[in-house]
């Protein structure tokens, strides 16, 4: 089994949307879902650019679906190519993750005889504004008349919501089609240009219908000959990082968009592919990652690494990572705590520059966080639960689920009370600093972030029972609303407060001038001292929140480990679930990884088992963390089974799971559970430590770790583990408890 190939050997319309998501192509700037060239019912044809958000009146800002340039209709002898109504043979469709190319090949039994078709497409990794398509058409039985209609289509919406003005449409003398439009509220200019051509003599006409412009190519191809059609497209927007410091006008965006395309046209598909594939090759080679002995897990880890390259910007610190990456409009393109807790560790230890950019994005959201705190009567930095563009503020929709019978909409409280994200961000800042020693980042961003998030906690507490408590929150488990003293939130807040104490004497002068740091420190210290941290009860269980153990126990086996999530809602309403000992996802157990030092091994194991039984894993964030913590509790086989489930979230059998996009947290979690769970990767007192264990069924694994400028390869198999230095200075590290110099 080739670990770098995702494939489909039979066209099944049921899989259209899932394949669009998991096989999407992108480069961190933009992403194109892997929609088939010809249209099908049920498809979700999205092209997305990181940072292009728009908020229609009364709705929150969301990533706007851009004009489509993937649609391409082929007609042979007057018959439209369509895989549902016609006979298709020798079908194969793959995503070659090693090179970032999608390839579909088949033989179509048309009324004009058999036609061999091959479709290849990329989103260039080297020329970030460019997408490219190449179609090879070979009539096998007779000479044939072929027509191809392709262009740019702005008849696109985000599931019905229109974000763009009516476009200006143009065809230039050199056959370049152009389409310019603006987001309706946020005023982002977008230009799309494309050029279609063929390697055999052809006739080209231009047509247009509402919000679109097309090139229609017709040609005759002899039996056995191959006609190669090519379409290159460029996207540019006024939000591009190239214009970050300027007030750019639409003409410049259009001009640059045309220029990007002209540069690409000088190369053509093959050269664009070669250059982009070379860059992909370097990406794979720089940090080897492999699980041996288990093909599925090995494919999953490659899949994760592929998407981790597609989802994060390579040069823009004004954008984050969406819950679906850029692979679909699900979760409106918003960034959650998913980034800091699940995804960031991969970048911290593999691509620290990307990790820094992502944290700088959070730094740039500080103003929003300060404003949000004020709005709710608090101080310090209360980070948006859902982040979008820098000036969008909190983008968590206030409307929750709809009761169809009454028409009432439940208020969504997450934006207001799912506050743990502030501590999660502070935690991630410290993790980054531990692994990189990047004092420059700390001076410019990190110390201020830690200070202001800690200060937030000192205002978010309430004096109760002679101590400080954190009341009325939603913890990671989103099936519980408005709870008091969620263990996860309280412990993470405590860690955040302690971090602020720790960094106080490193706070740079400019911050001392900006804030009354002495006053802040006093409040922070006092809060840390008096903050209530739920402790294990007589059974050794740390209550997930106040009163948890008094809730009714229920048999969860009916609802968990099934194909569908949310099954519990068939039997219980949301309010009834509040009264049950059931959870949506990993919650308290996450502390055993994040703040492992604060708990004994015995406590961890007991609580892991207790809470796992009560967790439905209805969120894709759940399995990877259970695998990670399971591995730490020496429950290696259980952890491996959980890991398998985490790996299945996107590439498993479930056909609809990824319709709206891949699950970026779970994808980050696949790496996290491997490196930090099975691999035991952590930093202890400034020293890198790994202590790999090998679960049953695996014969080995390897991953790389970048630590303070040195890149190390960690390899484990049944004979033991070793660490090799790939580049950078010598480092003293700990391998399975023993110190050694690499
Ligand atoms: C989970 C959250 C997560 C969000 C975005 C929700 O279903 O409960 O923890 O942040 O999805 O992935």
Which residue ranges form the domains of the chain, and what is each CATH number? 5-285 (2.70.98.40), 395-588 (1.50.10.10)
Q: What is the structure's pLDDT at 461?
A: 98
- Whether the pLDDT of residue 64 is over 90: the answer is yes
Q: What is the structure's pLDDT at 482?
A: 95
Instruction: Identify which of 430, 451, 427 has the alpha carbon closest to the alpha carbon of residue 341.
Output: 427
Average pLDDT over residues 299-310: 98
Average pLDDT over residues 552-574: 90
Contact by Cβ (8 Å): 250, 170: no
Say which residue the tokens 């899932």 belong to.
Answer: 18
Token pair for 362 = 């959070």
Cβ of 338 closer than 6 Å to ligand 1, yes or no, is: yes
Q: What is the structure's pLDDT at 717?
A: 97
- Segment (H or E) for 103: strand 101-110
What is the CB neighbour count within 10 angstroms for residue 33?
27
What is the C-alpha to C-alpha distance for residues 741 and 734, in angstroms, rounded to an integer?
A: 9
- Please identify, by atom number, the ligand 1 atom nearest to the C-alpha of residue 336: 10
What is the C-alpha to C-alpha distance for residues 473 and 457, in angstroms, rounded to an integer?
A: 13
- The answer to whether residue 38 is catalytic is no
Distance of CA 541 to the CA centre of its chain: 33
Cβ of 27 closer than 6 Å to ligand 1, yes or no, is: no
pLDDT, the chain, mean? 96
The CA–CA distances, whole Å, from 299 to 10, 97, 330 equal: 20, 10, 24
Spatial CB neighbours of 709, under 8 Å, sequence gap ≥ 6: 436, 437, 728, 729
- Whether the pLDDT of residue 440 is over 90: the answer is yes
- Please identify, by atom number, the ligand 1 atom nearest to the C-alpha of residue 331: 5
Contact by Cβ (8 Å): 354, 315: no
- Please identify, by atom number, the ligand 1 atom nearest to the C-alpha of residue 334: 5
Average pLDDT over residues 294-309: 97
- Whether the pLDDT of residue 469 is over 80: the answer is yes
Average pLDDT over residues 373-398: 97
pLDDT digit string, tens, across residues 149-177: 999 999 999 999 999 999 999 999 899 99
Q: What is the structure's pLDDT at 564?
A: 85
Query: Is residue 406 very low, low, confident or very high in pLDDT (cuts 50, 70, 90)?
Result: confident
Instruction: Identify which of 718, 716, 621 has the alpha carbon closest to the alpha carbon of residue 324.
Output: 621
Q: What is the structure's pLDDT at 403?
A: 79
Say which residue the tokens 């580049």 belong to.
Answer: 727
Instruction: Identify which of 405, 507, 409 has the alpha carbon closest to the alpha carbon of residue 454.
Output: 507
Token pair for 211 = 């919000």
Cβ of 273 closer than 6 Å to ligand 1, yes or no, is: no
pLDDT digit string, tens, across residues 594-623: 999 999 999 999 999 999 999 999 999 999
pLDDT over 90, % of the chain: 94
- Whether the pLDDT of residue 13 is over 80: the answer is yes
Q: In degrees, to the nearest 5, what angle opens at C-alpha 71 toward C-alphas 68 and 76?
A: 160
What is the C-alpha to C-alpha distance for residues 242 and 459, in angstroms, rounded to an integer?
A: 39
Q: What is the structure's pLDDT at 159?
A: 92
What is the C-alpha to C-alpha distance for residues 548 and 580, in angstroms, rounded to an integer?
A: 8
Token pair for 264 = 């690409």
Cβ of 742 closer than 6 Å to ligand 1, yes or no, is: no
Token pair for 198 = 């063929």
pLDDT digit string, tens, across residues 230-255: 999 999 999 999 999 999 999 999 99
What is the C-alpha to C-alpha distance for residues 644 and 654, in angstroms, rounded to an integer?
A: 14
Query: Is residue 400 very low, low, confident or very high in pLDDT (cuts 50, 70, 90)?
Result: confident
What is the C-alpha to C-alpha distance for residues 646 and 154, in angstroms, rounded to an integer?
A: 37
Instruction: Identify which of 598, 597, 600, 625 has the alpha carbon closest to the alpha carbon of residue 611.
Output: 625
Q: What is the structure's pLDDT at 656?
A: 80
Token pair for 178 = 């152009």
What is the C-alpha to C-alpha distance for residues 575 and 515, in angstroms, rounded to an integer?
A: 43
- Integer-rounded Cα radius of gyration of the chain: 27
pLDDT over 70, % of the chain: 100
The phi, psi pair for 576, rounded to 5°, reads -70, -35
Average pLDDT over residues 281-286: 97
Cβ of 177 closer than 6 Å to ligand 1, yes or no, is: no
Strand stretches in 262-301, DSSP E: 290-292
- Please identify, by atom number, the ligand 1 atom nearest to the C-alpha of residue 618: 7
pLDDT digit string, tens, across residues 452-465: 999 999 999 999 99
The protein residue with its alpha carbon nearest to ligand 1, atom 9, reads 476
The CA–CA distances, whole Å, from 231 to 21, 71, 82, 193, 718 equal: 22, 11, 20, 10, 50
Token pair for 4 = 């770098």
Q: DSSP H helical segments within 579-621, as ranges?
A: 591-594, 601-613
The three-state (H, E, C) secondary structure of 113-138, written as one string: EEEEEEEEEEECCCCCCEEEEEEEEE
What is the CB neighbour count within 10 angstroms for residue 255?
13
Q: What is the structure's pLDDT at 562?
A: 81
The protein residue with its alpha carbon nearest to ligand 1, atom 7, reads 619
Token pair for 373 = 């705190």
Q: What is the structure's pLDDT at 637?
A: 87
- Whether the pLDDT of residue 725 is over 90: the answer is yes
List 242, 478, 603, 609, catalytic entry: 478
Residue 8 Cα, ligand 1 centroid: separation in angstroms? Answer: 29
- Whether the pLDDT of residue 655 is over 80: the answer is no
């Amino acid at each position: 089994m080739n670990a770098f190939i995702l494939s489909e050997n039979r066209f099944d319309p049921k899989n259209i949307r899932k394949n669009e998501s998991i096989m999407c192509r992108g480069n961190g700037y933009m992403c194109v879902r892997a929609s088939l060239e010809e249209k099908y019912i049920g498809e979700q044809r999205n092209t997305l650019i990181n940072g292009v958000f728009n908020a229609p009146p009364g709705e929150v800002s969301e990533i706007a679906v851009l004009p489509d340039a993937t649609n391409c209709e082929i007609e042979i002898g007057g018959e439209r190519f369509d895989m549902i109504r016609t006979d298709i043979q020798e079908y194969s469709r793959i995503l070659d993750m090693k090179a970032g190319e999608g390839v579909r090949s088949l033989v179509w039994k048309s009324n004009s005889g058999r036609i061999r078709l091959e479709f290849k497409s990329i989103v260039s990794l080297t020329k970030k504004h460019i997408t490219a398509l190449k179609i090879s058409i070979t009539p096998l039985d007779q000479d044939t008349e072929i027509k191809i209609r392709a262009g740019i289509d702005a008849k696109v919406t985000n599931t019905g919501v229109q974000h763009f003005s009516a476009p200006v449409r143009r065809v230039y003398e050199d056959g370049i089609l152009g389409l310019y439009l603006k987001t309706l509220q946020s005023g982002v200019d977008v230009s799309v240009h494309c050029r279609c051509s063929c390697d055999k003599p052809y006739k080209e006409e231009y047509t247009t219908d509402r919000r679109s412009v097309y090139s229609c190519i017709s040609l005759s191809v002899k039996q056995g000959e191959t006609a190669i059609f090519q379409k290159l497209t460029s996207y540019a927007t006024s939000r591009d990082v190239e214009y970050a410091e300027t007030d750019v006008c639409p003409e410049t965006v259009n001009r640059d968009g045309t220029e990007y395309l002209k540069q690409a046209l000088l190369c053509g598909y093959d050269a664009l592919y070669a250059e982009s594939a070379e860059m992909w090759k370097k990406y794979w080679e720089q940090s080897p990652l492999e699980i041996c002995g288990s093909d599925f897990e090995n494919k999953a880890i490659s899949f994760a690494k592929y998407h981790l390259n597609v989802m994060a910007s390579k040069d823009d610190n004004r954008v984050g990572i969406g819950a679906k990456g850029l692979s679909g409009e699900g979760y409106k393109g918003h960034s959650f705590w998913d980034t800091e807790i699940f995804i960031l560790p991969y970048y911290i230890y593999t691509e620290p520059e990307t990790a820094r950019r992502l944290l700088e994005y959070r730094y740039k959201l500080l103003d929003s966080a300060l404003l949000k705190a004020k709005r709710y009567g608090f101080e310090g930095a209360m980070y948006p639960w859902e982040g979008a563009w820098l000036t969008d503020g909190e983008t968590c929709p206030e409307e929750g689920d709809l009761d169809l019978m009454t028409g009432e909409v439940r208020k969504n409280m997450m934006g207001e009370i799912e506050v743990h994200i502030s501590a999660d961000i502070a935690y991630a800042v410290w993790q980054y600093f531990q692994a990189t020693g990047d004092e420059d980042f700390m001076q410019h961003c990190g110390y201020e972030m830690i200070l202001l998030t800690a200060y937030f906690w000192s205002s978010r507490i309430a004096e109760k029972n002679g101590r400080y408590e954190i009341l009325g929150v939603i913890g990671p488990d989103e099936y519980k609303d408005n709870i008091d003293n969620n263990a996860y939130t309280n412990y993470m807040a405590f860690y955040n407060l302690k971090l602020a104490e720790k960094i106080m004497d490193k706070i740079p002068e400019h911050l001392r001038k900006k804030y009354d740091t002495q006053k802040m420190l006093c409040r922070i210290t006092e809060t840390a001292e008096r903050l209530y941290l739920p402790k294990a009860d007589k059974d050794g269980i740390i209550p997930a929140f106040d009163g948890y153990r008094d809730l009714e126990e229920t048999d969860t086996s009916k609802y968990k480990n099934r194909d569908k999530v949310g099954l519990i809602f068939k039997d219980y309403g949301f309010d009834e679930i509040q009264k049950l000992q059931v959870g949506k996802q990993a919650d308290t157990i996450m502390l055993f990884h994040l703040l492992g030092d604060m708990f004994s091994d015995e406590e961890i194991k007991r609580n892991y088992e207790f809470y796992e039984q009560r967790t439905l894993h209805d969120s894709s964030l759940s399995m990877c963390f259970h695998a990670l913590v399971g591995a730490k509790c020496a429950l290696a086989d259980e952890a491996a089974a959980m890991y398998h489930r985490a790996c299945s979230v996107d590439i498993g059998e479930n056909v609809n799971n990824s319709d709206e996009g891949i699950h970026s947290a779970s994808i980050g979690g696949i790496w996290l559970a491997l490196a930090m769970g099975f691999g035991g990767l952590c930093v202890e007192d400034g020293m890198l430590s790994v202590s790999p264990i090998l679960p049953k069924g695996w014969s080995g694994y390897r991953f790389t770790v970048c630590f303070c400028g040195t890149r190390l390869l960690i390899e484990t198999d049944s004979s033991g583990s070793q660490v090799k230095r790939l580049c950078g200075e010598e480092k003293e590290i700990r391998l399975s408890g023993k110190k050694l110099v690499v």
